[in-house]
Chains A and B, each alone.
Chain A
Amino acid sequence: MSSETGEVSINAVSLRYRDGGLPLRPAHKPRLTVILLTMSNSWQDRRQALLGPGPCAAPALKPLFFDPPRAFAWRRKLLGHVGGADGEAGVAPRGHTAMAGVGGGNDFQWCFSQVKGAIDEDVAEADIISTVEFNYSGELLATGDKGGRVVIFQREQESKNRPHSRGEYNVYSTFQSHEPEFDYLKSLEIEEKINKIRWLPQQNAAHFLLSTNDKTIKLWKISERDKRAEGYNLKDEDGRLRDPFRITSLRVPVLMPMDLMVEASPRRIFANAHTYHINSISVNSDHETYLSADDLRINLWHLEITDRSFSILFCGEFFFPLDRAPSDIVDIKPANMEELTEVITAAECHPHQCNVFVYSSSKGTIRLCDMRAAALCDRHTKFFEEPEDPSSRSFFSEIISSISDVKFSHSGRYMMTRDYLSVKVWDLNMENRPVETYQVHEYLRSKLCSLYENDCIFDKFECCWNGSDGAIMTGSYNNFFRMFDRNSRRDITLEASRESSKPRAMLKPRKVCTGGKRKKDEISVDSLDFNKKILHTAWHPKENVIAVAATNNLYIFQDKIN
């Protein structure tokens, strides 16, 4: 891994595509052609245009996943392999339809399950976790850190030996996803920090995820290898070539089981599409396209195609080169900077409608766009904004109203936005105000000035739904995280700390004292540690298991049903 020369080297087992796809050398970065189709507004036409150019016939679209699923699953089961087979949830389903509340009830309590990461006081910057994401089945949990690494945990199958303990998450795969790069043209270093990880729905035995840093998105294939071929004719067991004259007989290589090896290989690299820092990626419900958003632009990609994407939203103007075809746009001039008033802060595809996406802005507004309406979605279909309360104006009103995360509910009916002090749930059918607002840490409102000084006011907290959309969770400072039950309107503050890290220890609700008299067990606002912040949390899609990233540690909590 050499960052001086700007080369990218991936610590993965296989470095080349078996199908002879794109090489990994960044010197051959694919030239990006950004196409803005103005001639055709048809959604199908645009998808077709993405898939294949006109004159030169594109090769027949290779399916992204081509392993025969059934044979593979059969072989895996034969070998008694643990872990989820293709498509099947690795965890035995429990009766989890009744998604319990957030705690405090008689039948539900959050307990510590595991913690991953070092305990040192001195945390290396590269170890700070920057994103956490469960996959669709919840079997895999991926984390990305500031050092560009991705660590994937897999849940163990529940064994007969310990029927009461849920499956634990153990390291499944670790790989270096992004390396620091240097943009020579702008003399800027591109951070290797993983901004977002998004899983693709599993279609065969391998797992696919998208990971992105500030500029480049990569599609990674994580596959298991538990067999190797032995008995080659031309080389012996060490790999050395045998002398052809010594070979007197032929044999057929046979597949022998080996220790399970999980290899991660980059399948696609989507680069050179963003001038500003990528803040979001979101896989579309058609499982073929995904969108990536930076401050001023949203691109729509096809998972197969890396050398071009659609800019479906762009704040600026295109520059057409004079000596090439207009479709060959190679440079984008960003918006007239004098007119810039807001930037895109997050974007997400609708979970069920593949033509709908939303994006949030730094002004606290959310726009929902329908890609069928026009090629360039700069005219929104719906505009969500809550009128500002003029009595709470301050220097920092604009900063704290900037939305840091937007998430659709699993049902697709609601969406949730997180700004600095609150979480708001919006009904997609009502644009003028949210249906629910939850204050996360309102006691910080009087401290905004000092939070501005120490840059904490710019922290981008994320939020997440639980599987049934009945509860939402978000992080706060002092390693606190908050959960809100939408049905019972109860909320709870919990802490991710080493002190409460005994196995199956119940988490005690915490309280921040805002008034004068501090009760026992309460914490005053001034003694909160603002360096311990929980920005990234994730909730298992089907069960009451949550993953909370506290700086360099990943805490996993589960419910304990009495």
Chain B
Amino acid sequence: MEYKVEAHRIMSISLGKIYNSRVQRGGIKLHKNLLVSLVLRSARQVYLSDYYGGVCVRSPHAGGVEWGEGDQMDSDGSRSTPDEHGGESALVSDDSVRIPEVSVNGPAAAVEGQDIEDLAPGSDYNCQQSPQEDVGSVKTEGSGSAETGGPGSGSEHCVSRSENSQQGSAEVTATCCTRKRGAERSASAGSPVKRPKATAVPALPPVGGEGEGPEDMDTGNVSSLITIFGSSFSGLLSKEGAQPATDSEDSDSGKICCEQMLPNLNPWSTAIVAF
């Protein structure tokens, strides 16, 4: 459980850094942002491995959804992380499942929609119940190389989900959770439907070929993160500017990020769809 909190905290910090790099003097530093995106990816892997450990045990429905993904994943077995836990390998490598999804479905927005759709029930459950199962030895890095993890799209909606679950577990903004569940229920469950994504972070730029690896998406993230943060988060900027940028605030800003983001879901989604 601590791993999840830690991973979430690191993800929030990383996102904060990526955002701050845009307003920093001297322009965006490629090297630093690359490193931050690598940390983000690692934290996401940890978080996801934790996450699916909790979900799998608890909810048959969510399990059903994920096993549906598992079918796709089998065909992509080569992409599964070798050193993930055996029991969760099917679930964890849903990241890698998304790689063919990304390329097959073309616009990243559609893929994001599918991801959210697939995971929405899961996140609902996670909001309701805090996962009790502690993922044993958390491989924080995975294999760290190209064949593990998934696209950065995973990282984005992971963050939003993590923020939601964080709220759920913190019971601070239960209404937010409810709102997200409502939004997701409005879409037809079951079969993946192309739907505007509802996450805090932008979609990937369209991926050319098959996913080259997690690094590809993450650095694609960086540029798109930067553009979209710049254009759509002016409200967030004023809010974050008011807050002192201290370390302790990072997780708080993550929450605030989500709170502020949720009302802006609709303009976001239209922007992403257009993209």
Contacts and interface: CB of A to CB of B under 8 A. Distances in A.
Contacts of B10: 395, 449, 452
B15 to A, nearest CB: 13
Given A189-B26, A338-B217, A394-B141, A345 B38 contact: no
Contacts of B212: 338-339
Contacts of B17: 455
A340 B141 CA distance: 18
A322 interface: no
Interface in B9-46: 10, 13, 17, 25-27, 29-32, 34-35, 38-39, 42-43, 46
A399 B38 contact: yes
Contacts of B216: 336-340
Contacts of A188: 26-27
A346 B33 CA distance: 17
A193 B25 CA distance: 11
A362 B13 contact: no
B144 interface: yes
Given A338-B216, A340-B215, A341-B215, A397 B141 contact: yes
Contacts of B220: 337-338
A473 B25 CA distance: 31
Contacts of A396: 39
Q: What's the dominant secondary structure at chain B's contact region?
A: helix
A65 interface: no
B34 A343 contact: yes
A48 B10 CA distance: 52
Nearest to B45: A395
B31 A295 contact: yes
A72 interface: no
Nearest to A213: B26
A341 B29 CA distance: 15
Nearest to B247: A453
B140 interface: yes
Nearest to B146: A341
Contacts of B29: 277
* Secondary structure class of chain A's binding surface, majority of residues: loop
Given A399-B38, A458-B32, A186 B13 contact: no
Contacts of B208: 336, 338
Contacts of B101: none
A141 to B, nearest CB: 26
Contacts of A395: 10, 39, 42-43, 46, 140-141
B220 to A, nearest CB: 5
Interface residues of B, number: 37
B38 A398 contact: yes
Interface string A253-294: 000000000000000000000001101000000000000000
Interface in A391-432: 393-399, 402
- Among B46, B141, B250: residue with most chain A CB under 10 A: B141
Name which of A186, A338, A340, A341 has the most chain B CB atoms within 10 A of its CB: A338
A393 B250 contact: no
B27 A295 contact: no
A35 to B, nearest CB: 24
User: Which of A186, A193, A345, A398 has its CB near the most chain B CB atoms (within 10 A)?
Assistant: A398
Given A337-B219, A398-B38, A398-B39, A393 B141 contact: yes
A398 B144 contact: yes
B1 interface: no
B31 A190 contact: no
A495 interface: no
A186 B207 CA distance: 24
Given A345-B31, A362-B35, A395-B43, A450 B26 contact: no
Contact of B247 (A190, A279, A342, A450): A450
Interface residues of A, number: 38
A254 B26 CA distance: 50
B43 A191 contact: no
A296 B29 CA distance: 12
Nearest to B215: A341
Nearest to A186: B27
A353 interface: no
Contacts of A295: 30-31
A398 B140 contact: no
B249 to A, nearest CB: 10
Interface in A294-348: 295-296, 336-343, 345
Contacts of A402: 31, 35
Contacts of B213: 341
Contacts of B31: 277, 279, 295, 343, 345, 362, 402
B27 A454 contact: no
Nearest to A398: B38
Interface in A472-508: none
B264 interface: no
B35 to A, nearest CB: 5
Contacts of A189: 25-27
A214 interface: yes
B223 interface: yes
Contact of B144 (A397, A399, A450, A454): A397
26 contacts: A188-B27, A190-B26, A190-B27, A191-B26, A277-B30, A337-B216, A337-B220, A337-B222, A337-B223, A338-B219, A339-B216, A340-B216, A341-B215, A342-B34, A343-B30, A345-B31, A393-B141, A395-B46, A395-B141, A398-B39, A398-B144, A399-B39, A449-B6, A450-B247, A452-B13, A453-B247
Given A336-B216, A393-B141, 7 more contacts: A336-B208, A337-B223, A339-B216, A340-B216, A340-B219, A394-B141, A458-B35
Interface of B: 6, 10, 13, 17, 25-27, 29-32, 34-35, 38-39, 42-43, 46, 139-141, 144, 146, 205, 207-208, 212-213, 215-217, 219-220, 222-223, 247, 250
- Please provide the 6 A-B residue pairs with the shortest distance between their CB atoms, ordered closest to farther: A338-B216, A191-B26, A188-B27, A453-B247, A341-B215, A295-B30
Interface of A: 183, 186, 188-191, 193, 214, 276-277, 279, 295-296, 336-343, 345, 362, 393-399, 402, 449-450, 452-455, 458
